[in-house]
Amino acid sequence: EVSLVESGGGLVQPGGSLRLSCTPSGFMLSPYWMSWVRQAPGKGLEWVANIKEDGGSENYVDSVKGRFTISRDNAKNSLYLEMNSLRVEDTALYYCARETPGGACYFDCWGQGTPVTVSS
């Protein structure tokens, strides 16, 4: 069975930094575009960023551009999200998600999420 496991979340003060990690089980990351999607408490889903199979292209939602960096290490079979200059509004459960082949950005495998709380 395929799955994803996120880690690295926690409590951080506004302006602080965190690095999230995501590791798959049952498959290799290398053939897939991968995304981070977040969900604020009691709110809906918000796509955050994605990265091409080889790491050669990245996309971000406007609200995190310049603050967040998505990256991957296919040799280590891992996905990352470096989050800097964190704001209270970044508080959410952060999911990593696998995109289906074909480039339409459908998410067919999700992790359980890692919580990020930005608060003083």
Partner 1 sequence: VVMTQSPATLSVSPGEGATLSCRASQSIGRKFAWYQQKPGQTPRLLIYDASIRATGVPARFSGRGSGTEFTLTINNLQSDDFAVYYCQHYGTFGQGTRVEVK
Q: Return residues touching partner 1 (CB under 8 A).
A: 37, 44-47, 50, 59, 61, 95, 100, 104-108, 110-113
SS3 64: helix
In the complex, minimum distance from the CB of residue 75 to partner 1, in angstroms, rounded to a whole number: 27
**Minimum CB distance to partner 1 smaller for 27 or for 47:** 47
Residues 6+ apart with CB under 8 A from 35: 47, 48, 49, 50, 51, 96, 97, 98, 99, 105, 107
Tokens coding 64: 């995190």
- Report, in Å, the least distance between residue 73 CB and partner 1: 23
Minimum distance from CB of 53 to partner 1 (Å)? 17
